[in-house]
Structure 1
Amino acid sequence: MMEPTPFTLAACAEMLFRGLPITERVKRIDALGFQVEIWDWSRHDLKSLAATGATFSSMTGYLEGTLADKDGAERLVETARASIAVAKELGIPRLNLHGTGLDGQGLPIKAGAEMTGPMWITAADTLNRLADLGQQHDVTFVLENLNTAVDHPGVPFARAEDVLALVASVDRPEVRIMLDLYHAQVGEGNLVELVRRCAPYTGEIQVADVPGRCEPGSGEIHYPAIARALNEIGYRGTVGLEGWASGDDELALARFRDAFTL
């Protein structure tokens, strides 16, 4: 008999059940037994989201800004403060970050894939400031790796290797990695070893298959092997489906659950 999943499973309401209003998407995901992820909270009716009674896993933790320049960092920290207030309202423990703000197409507001030494120092300082906020308000900021080959060209601090190095240099529990394995497969590969190396600093795992960014089982990644590796290293946190449905949304969620059931 198969054992239940040792992980907490979540799903992105921005990417599933897209024919429904966002609150109805949240209700459907919650009714199927998953926690719920959202992106830009400023686009949603927060009272309606709270009224669903769903458990939310994460959301975008800023509205504007960038990690690695002074003015951008000020704006990032400022909008992170506003995001914390929303997180408290919705009971969200993790606030997602990127190297820079993204537009509606996922492109960087301020491009700069080449990271200089001063940029690394400024980024680490910004994360330390966010860690101070996290400590004060009991939330965790998670820095997500992205891919620059397909979805997010020009984003700084995009590679998982760079995110790991930056988060490890800060080395504070209020700043962790949002390890997105879809993006890592597109840009870097070697996912099982990556999961193991990032383990001490991982705040949450996000998944989708390659190509297509749909649910596990729709592409080339053997997610049951990823699930076994996570279990072997003792990971007991959240695994979130941040992907589209290749067909029926409920079937996509069932395939996701199956991939992470040991």
Structure 2
Amino acid sequence: MNTPFELAACAEMQFTDLPLTERVKRIGEYGIAAELWNWHEDHVDLEAIAATGVPILNMNAYINGDLVTPDGVENFLRTAEEGARRSKVLGSPRLNFHGIGLGEGGIPVIKSEVVTGRMWARTTTTLLQLAEIAEKHDVVYQMENLNLPVDHAGTPFSHPEDVLALVEAVDSPRIRMNLDLYHAQIGDGNLIETCRKALPWVGEIQVADVPGRCEPGTGEINYRMIAQRLAEMGYRGTVCMEAWAHADSDTALRTFIETFSNLEVSS
């Protein structure tokens, strides 16, 4: 595998017939890292996952809460700090969060069709507080863009430009952007230029094809071209496949790795 990126795959979305720890092992057999979602659920054994030796690069930051309401901010910051503590078991992977807590089926716990100036101001303050927690625990939190038309209707601060504006405003190396290109394609498009604008603030990039949210090559996105452009831009960070397998996970992982490997990169 000759790639300029650090490749990873979401364990909850691959080998779905296996227990989570076994999924991590299977992903690791491909020589790439894994990422997790809900570390706090009863079936998740972080110690067992750590014992696999497979690097874990990202996991959810928090359990519940939001970035704008008094009670929501309190819950968000409290559980985000607990996420930072628990991440130590896995070597302090990046911790992922969104504009608001997501409930069953990815629907936001509080829908906000209109994001007000007060919400922008409150969210910026919340992220400054989050940066202090990150400094205290020596971790990095990253905010992910989402799509509204298909998966997460009513989620505030979902467009890539919204997330980028917030991360730039906080201006802390402890608060980065998780640029999800699947979500960006559905909501905004213009992926290569979006990558170019966001790259100085990006903690990682996540990928899945559209429609269907399966591995690269199953939809309309030219991920091979995006991989080449990212390499030319000098990106050397994480690219994570947060996608379902169109047929089987072995094929999906091989296709993903091939898409982001053997690129033309000048020395």
Flag whether TM exceeds 0.5 (same fold).
yes
- Report the alpha carbon displacement of residue 70 of structure 1 after superposing the two structures with TM: 2.0
Give the corresponding residue for 1:216. 216
How far residue 133 of structure 1 moved from its aligned partner, in angstroms, is 1.3
> Which residues of 2 match residues 81-230 of structure 1 at below 5 A?
81-230=81-230
Deviations 1:182-238 (CA, angstroms, capped at 9, x unpaired) = 000000000000000001110000000000000000111000111111112111100
Cα displacement string for residues 154-191 of structure 1 (whole angstroms, at most 9, x for unaligned residues) = 11111111111111111111001000000000000000
Residue in 1 that maps onto 2:258: 258
Q: Which residue of 2 aligns with 1:67?
A: 67
Distance in 2, matches of 1:215 and 1:166, equals: 29
Q: Give the corresponding residue for 1:5.
A: 3
Amino acid at match of 1:222: N
Shift of 1:93: 2.5
1:32 maps to what in 2?
30
2:8/2:241 contact within 8 Å kept: yes
Q: Given residue 33 of structure 2, which amino acid in structure 1 is its aligned partner?
A: Q
SS at match of 2:219: coil
Q: Does 1:15 align with 2:9?
A: no
Q: Which amino acid aligns with 2:72?
A: G
Question: Greater shift after overlay, 129-138 or 195-204?
Answer: 129-138
CA contact 2:207–2:242 (8 Å) conserved in 1:
yes
Contact 1:113 1:157 in 2 (8 A): no
* CA distance in 1 between partners of 2:63 and 2:115 (Å): 22
TM superposition score normalised by structure 2: 0.95
5+ long unaligned stretches in structure 2? none
Distance 2:68 2:188 in 1: 23
Aligned-pair Cα RMSD in Å: 1.0
Letter in 2 for 1:40: N
Show CA shifts across 1:63-101 (max 9, x none).
Answer: 001112222111100001110111111113300010111
TM-score, structure 1 length as denominator?
0.97
1:42 alignment partner, one of 31, 40, 43: 40
Check whether the contact 1:164–1:198 (CA below 8 A) recurs between aligned residues.
Answer: yes
CA–CA distance in structure 2, aligned partners of residues 123 and 60 of structure 1: 18
Q: Which runs of 4+ in 1 moved over 4 A?
A: none
Provide the secondary structure at the position in 2 that maps to 1:105. helix
CA distance in 1, matches of 2:104, 2:52: 26
Q: Distance in 2 between matches of 1:224 and 1:198?
A: 19
Partner secondary structure for residue 167 of structure 2: helix
Is this contact kept in 1: 2:107–2:153, CA < 8 A?
yes
Letter in 2 for 1:183: H
